[in-house]
Amino acid sequence: MKLEKLGCETYLATFGEWVLYTTFMYGLSSRYAHDLRGMLKSKLQEYLQYSQEHQLSKVLELFPDILSEKPVDRILELGEEYLSVNVGGESILSVGKGLDLIQSGAAGVINTLPFTCMPGNVVTALSKSIREDYPGFPWLNLSYEGLEDTGESIRLEAFVHQVREYHHRISHQ
């Protein structure tokens, strides 16, 4: 809401992204364990989940601003440039989604994380390398601890300024 008040259009990761990721990881761990039943079960589960997502997206076509999810394996493939999928956890998912947004034309990414969240802190650490690989791309890491942060407004305003500058620069290339 604060970003929208500053004139930004925002996109939040969906819950479906996490559901699809856990199914993918179930299939991967089944493959490593040579568990044919688990592999088949994960493929059926994945098929049903994508089928249901497709049905739901038809209903949501009335709302064109809603982005559809890319396949989880594509998001993880992007994230593997910075972190192995074998590490597990949502860090690779967050990194991959951030890279997907960069490649899809987003003008900035904010990694929000609860204070002391290990996966969020991993993404924060990896974001240094991402910023080096995508020079000038606005990437902000925001940690929340449940208290009002007086510096948050200033950081968000600075981020929005960077987003506008970046968007202006790339749209005039």
Contacts within 8 Å (CB) and 24+ apart, 21-26: 21/72, 21/75, 21/76, 21/90, 21/93, 23/49, 23/72, 24/72, 24/73, 24/76, 25/88
- Average pLDDT in the chain: 87
User: pLDDT tens for residues 59-96?
Assistant: 766 655 545 567 889 999 999 999 999 988 889 999 99
- Domain carrying residue 121: 2-171
For residues 104-129, average pLDDT: 91
Q: How many domains does the chain have?
A: 1
- Report the candidate in 18, 6, 154 with the shortest Cα–Cα distance to residue 93: 18
Band of residue 115 on the pLDDT scale cut at 50, 70, 90: confident
pTM: 0.81
* Bigger pLDDT: 64 vs 121: 121
